Structure 1
Amino acid sequence: MIGALNRVVEAVEADPAADVDLAAAAAEFGTTEYHLRRMFSSLAGMPLSEYVRRRRMTLAAADLIGGASERDLLDIAVRHGYGSTEAFNRAFRAVHGVSPADVRRNGGPLRAQPHLRFRLTVEGNSPMDTRITDRPSFRLIGHAARVPLIHEGVNPHIQAHVAALPASEHARLKELGDTEPAGLLQVSADVDPDYAEGSELTYLHGVAVRAEASVPDDLDVIDVDAGEWAVFQAEGAYPQVLQETWAATATDWFPSNPWRLREGPSIVAVLDRAPDFSTATCELWLPVERAG
């Protein structure tokens, strides 16, 4: 996986204006484009598309400053993958906070994106409580909403969605659940493969039921295919410990184990929690398949 990620970065450096052939890079290293995107985002802290944009604008700034003041702005825009000066100006300002004209005039300020290099360091001093389980197809049922993805801290959109449900509805859902993952579940589906901050996902507050179970008409349904799941247990301050566990799957677990993410929802089962939800014991369920 580390080799595949570095090959992607090398392709960006070779021609930042070109689109990266992720499918070819994934095939070369025996993985999938979906897994490659998710691992890049988790390890780099940004989607691949954002890294490409930042590198393009870093090199474009050098063109503007390094004796390029007389060059036509459209030529610079095209050289760095943009078909118009308007699109180039928007991207440049989004990265640097100033316009190309400001840089030509004043030489900055600039926010350079260094060339990424991925390296694997496995310390082995923080074992992860993990199990692999093979599950038949099942259904996730409950109340769904479209919400923005937030990487750190409490997601207020999810918090408001769950708070709007009466206590009686939580009890009703618990009675409907009849299979693993057990209990009330926090489900994230239709997640952007780049895992970009602010991108929309479907959040479902509900339970798991057997594939053949009948579902009340007033509940939303997500059908889940049969397959294997990696289940990670996390215990501590909530939601920080859960978010740290998610990050550790990318930095520690996936690079060290013969598994990769497959498409499907991620599921959080809360096994135990403090009355104010300040701490919790959770299981993070991620759909996986054997790599290679």
Structure 2
Amino acid sequence: MIEILNRLVDAIEESLDEDLDVDALAAAMGTTGYHARRMFSSLAGMPVSEYVRRRRMTVAAADVVGDEDLLTIAVRYGYGSVEAFGRAFRSVHGVSHGHVRRDGGPLQSQPQLRFRLTVEGSTPVDARIIERPAFRLIGHAARVPLIHEGVNPHIQQHIASLPATAHERLKQLSGTEPSGLLQVSADVDPDYTEGSELTYLHGVAVDAAAPVPDDLDAIDAEAGRWVVFRAAGPYPAALQQAYAASATEWFPSNPWRLRPGPSIVSVLDRAPDFTEAICELWLPIERA
């Protein structure tokens, strides 16, 4: 996977003045655009689209300090107007292209990325691979923004809005693995952009053919393999560390890739105040 990401970076560099088809490029390298985007975002700390924008504006700065017409420069880098180009330029460099043309800076450059696998091996990743038939996730869903670190207040608010009887009812409906009350994220932006919206479902797993009560939402999980990571410790920090370790350690070292589908967190045990917890993180996978 590390080699694929580096080839993606090289391809971006060769096509800064044109749109890059990440899906087609990933397919040519034997993976999927979905997996490549998720791994890129997890390892680089930014989506592919953000990296492309930053690199374009870094290279474009060299043109801006010259005498070439600004519209010509804007079109070269994929913008239909000087105004649109100017907004992108300011968002990266913090100043307008006019300021840079006049004073030569200041400029905030985005270096070209290079991914490397660092072998540490001090802490083994606790994971298991299981194959599951199709199943259904039912419960109470809401659209919430993606937040990478810390507690998501929008999810907290959604869960707090449910009466205690709703939690007990869901527990009674649970019919298959993953067992117990679940935290389900679906329709996640493949670039994993912070602030992008996803569907969060507080619910349980049932058989695929199980009826869905009229007042509950449902998300279908296709048959296939899942990797299950166990995380124990401070909540949600330990769980978020498991997410990070899956991208930085497990996927680069194993012949699996993410496939589209919901990610699921099963809380196996927790402290009364939820500051500590033992969780399982379920991610849908397929052979790379």
Name segments (4+ residues, structure 1) moved above 4 Å.
none
Residue 290 (structure 1) shift: 1.0
Alpha-carbon distance between aligned partners in 2 of 1:11 and 1:103, rounded to the nearest angstrom: 28
Give the letter aligned to residue 275 of structure 1.
P
CA distance in 2, matches of 1:92, 1:108: 12
How far off its partner does 1:206 sit?
0.4
User: Quick check: 2:23–2:34 contact (8 Å CA) kept in 1?
Assistant: no
Name the structure 2 match of 1:172: 169
Distance 2:209 2:190 in 1: 29
TM-score (norm 1): 0.96
Q: Match for residue 273 of structure 1?
A: 270
Q: Tell me, which stretches of 5 or more residues in structure 2 are unaligned?
A: none
CA distance in structure 2 between the partners assigned to 1:274 and 1:108 by the alignment: 53
Structure 1 distance, partners of 2:174, 2:31, is 34
| Identity between Structure 1 and Structure 2 (%) | 73
In 1, distance between residues paired with 2:170 and 2:226? Answer: 23
Aligned 1:219-258 pairs, distance under 5 A? 219-258=216-255
Shift of the alpha carbon at 1:28?
3.0
Superposition deviation, residue 58 in structure 1: 0.6
Structure 1: runs of 5+ lacking an equivalent: none
Residue 284 of structure 1 corresponds to which residue in structure 2?
A: 281
Aligned-residue Cα RMSD (Å) equals 1.0
Matched AA of 1:133 = I
**What is aligned with 1:48?**
48
Give the number of equivalent residue pairs: 288
The question of 1:32 aligning with 2:60 is answered no
The match for 2:179 is 182
Q: Helix, strand or coil for the counterpart of 1:142?
A: strand
1:199-210 paired onto structure 2 within 5 Å = 199-210=196-207
Deviation sequence 1:238-267 (CA, Å, 0-9, x none) = 111111110110110001011110000000
1:95 to 89, 92, 97: 92
Match of 2:192? 195
Q: Map Cα deviations across residues 128-158 of structure 1 (whole Å, 9 max, x no partner).
A: 1111111111110000000010111111111
- What is the TM-score with the length of structure 2 in the denominator? 0.97
1:198 aligned counterpart, secondary structure: coil
Displacement, 1:108?
2.2
Shift of residue 23, structure 1, vs aligned partner: 2.8
The range that moved more, 17-26 or 71-80, is 17-26
The answer on whether the counterparts of 1:8 and 1:20 sit within 8 Å (CA) in structure 2 is: no
Residues 30-39 or 20-29, more deviating: 20-29
**Secondary structure class of the residue paired with 1:286:** strand
- 1:146 is paired with a residue of what secondary structure? strand
* 2:120 is aligned with 1:123: yes
